[in-house]
Every structure is written in C-alpha cells, then in structure tokens.
C-alpha cells in the first residue's frame, strides 16, 4: 500500500480568534480559500501553531469541522488529535475521522512521557482503531522527549502509521529515520529553516509555519526539490531564511500571527500564556516581511 498522505507544503494553520477571543470560523474559511488559491498542498489544523493547547474540546471540534467543510475535498486536511492521555487521543482521532479528516497528527506524550512499550501503545491504540493515515509528531523541544528511532521503526510497520513530522532540528536523527522511509512511510520537515536539508535526508515536504505567510514560495521550494531542481530549492530556502528566523524570534505562533496581522489578514490575538510580542521583535519581523514583499 502506498500512502495517501500529500507530498509538498502542508501549512500548520493558525486558529484565528475574534475580538472577544472566540474561534473566528469565517476567517478560518477565508484561510482555507487562501491556501487553495496559493498552491498549498495540504492543511494541518489543531497543530502547535493552531493553539489547541488552550482551546476547549468544543472549540477544537469547531475548528476541525470548519476547515474540513471549507476544504470540501479540494485539499487534504490533517487534524492534530494528539494528547498525553492515550484515551483522550483515541476519542479525538475517532471523532475527526468521522468528520472527514484525511489524516491525523499524533504527538508523543508530553510531561508524563512514557517508557518504550507505553510509547508504542500510545500510537498503536489509535492506529488499530482508525482507517486514515497517521503522522507521528517528534518535537522534543515541546514534549521533553524524542521518539527513539527503534520505536519509529516498530511503528512504521503499522499499515495506518504512514509518516513522521520530524521537528527536532537534529539532522543526525532525521538521517537515521530516513533509513525507514518507503512508499508506505514518509517524513516531513517540521522546521522551516531546514526544509531543503531535510528533503536531502528523504523528506517528502514540510509541515510549515512559513506557509501561513508565504504559501506559494513554500510550495515552490518543495516542488523544485521534488522536480530535481535542488539548486533552485536551495536558493529559495536561503532567500527566505531571514524571514523564517523572524517568524521564530519568539515562541510560535506569536510571530506568525503578528505577521499575518501586519499583512492585513486579521487573524486576531492569542490566548494566555501567549502574549503579544516585544516591540523590538515586532520591528524585526515587520522589516523582514517588507524585504520579502509581503507587507507595506
């Protein structure tokens, strides 16, 4: 079986909020149209960038349902269903599959972590139940643990576990994971600053914050690499590097939401503990957006 997961640029979508702090479903639908019209290859809703950690279960469901309905099969939608509680993760996964999600992103358990067998079962409990592709999410900077390569190897043999978002920034780890890649198990870069190096290690694309503000350029970078224009892809990666660094000058998604607001996209604010960025950082971000021709 060949995975049905998309290749290319998958945007890690922000969750826009209204002035009263509620989820802005109208803006969510606008963002889906924006990405469909700018060649984005897939949408991830309720990832780290989507602030689901401070949203209620009802708000998570509303955001997922809104994006899936707005996409209407025109672009694949992957939903973040992860939790450090395996039972909660299973409930979410079943619900989002029923809603029409094209895939699920499942994170390794944060805070409580797990031993090896617990980690395997954390993912396989869901994989044994659903019939849509699962992407593992390795982001030790957020979870306090990296998924051991030997665990990834075991999980990669499961027919429903078809990919990994590798966001450790550790190319050595990515190279070891790359030995497991095939038509049934793919890797995505989880770091915008090393998309091309990660594709050199076998990644099929990126799950991207950059794509929130520069969707066409992110798609083009990945597309060039997939079409054997390595130098062209590398050139674009270098051109965008200063902007990428500015998008991570404070904890994600503070800068990317600020960037989108500077671009006139009106995605609203954040939920505590996230807070508007420092003015000096905002000026750096604005300067890089201007240099990239993305805001006035």
Catalytic positions: 137, 165
The two structure tokens encoding residue 161: 């576990």
Provide the 10 A C-beta neighbour count for residue 72.
Answer: 11
Residue 232 makes CB contacts below 8 A (sequence gap 6+) with 224
205 in Cβ contact with 6 (< 8 Å): yes
Strand residue runs (E) in the chain: 8-12, 42-45, 77-80, 103-107, 134-138, 161-166, 186-189, 205-208
Strand-pairing partners, residue 23, are: 17
**How would you classify the pairing of strands 103-107 and 134-138?**
parallel
Residues 6+ apart with CB under 8 A from 214: 240, 243, 292, 294
Place of tokens 């358990």: 109
Give the C-alpha separation, 186 to 115, whole Å. 24
């Amino acid at each position: 079986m060949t995975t049905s997961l998309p290749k290319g640029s998958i945007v890690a979508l922000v969750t826009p909020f209204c002035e009263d702090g509620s989820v802005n479903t109208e803006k969510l639908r606008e963002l889906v149209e924006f990405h469909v019209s700018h060649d984005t290859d897939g949408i991830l809703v309720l990832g780290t960038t989507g602030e689901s950690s401070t949203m209620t279960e009802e708000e998570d469901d509303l955001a997922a349902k809104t994006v899936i309905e707005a996409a209407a099969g025109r672009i694949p939608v992957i939903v973040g269903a992860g939790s450090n509680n395996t039972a909660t993760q299973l409930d979410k996964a079943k619900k989002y599959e029923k809603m029409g999600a094209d895939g699920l992103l499942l994170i390794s358990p944060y805070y409580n972590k797990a031993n090896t067998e617990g980690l395997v079962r954390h993912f396989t409990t869901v994989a044994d139940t659903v019939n849509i592709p699962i992407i593992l999410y390795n982001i030790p900077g957020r979870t306090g643990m990296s998924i051991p390569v030997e665990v990834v190897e075991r999980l990669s043999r499961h027919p429903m576990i078809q990919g990994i978002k590798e966001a450790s920034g550790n190319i050595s780890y990515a190279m070891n994971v790359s030995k497991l890649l095939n038509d049934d198990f793919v890797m995505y870069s989880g770091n915008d600053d090393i998309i091309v190096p990660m594709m050199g290690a076998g990644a099929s694309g990126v799950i991207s914050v950059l794509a929130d503000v520069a969707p066409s350029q992110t798609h083009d970078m990945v597309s060039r690499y997939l079409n054997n224009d390595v130098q062209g892809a590398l050139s674009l990666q270098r051109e965008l590097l200063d902007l990428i660094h500015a998008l991570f000058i404070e904890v994600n998604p503070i800068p990317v939401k600020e960037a989108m607001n500077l671009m006139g996209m009106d995605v609203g604010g954040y939920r505590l503990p996230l807070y508007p960025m420092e003015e000096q950082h905002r000026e750096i971000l604005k300067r890089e957006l201007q240099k990239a021709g993305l805001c006035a």
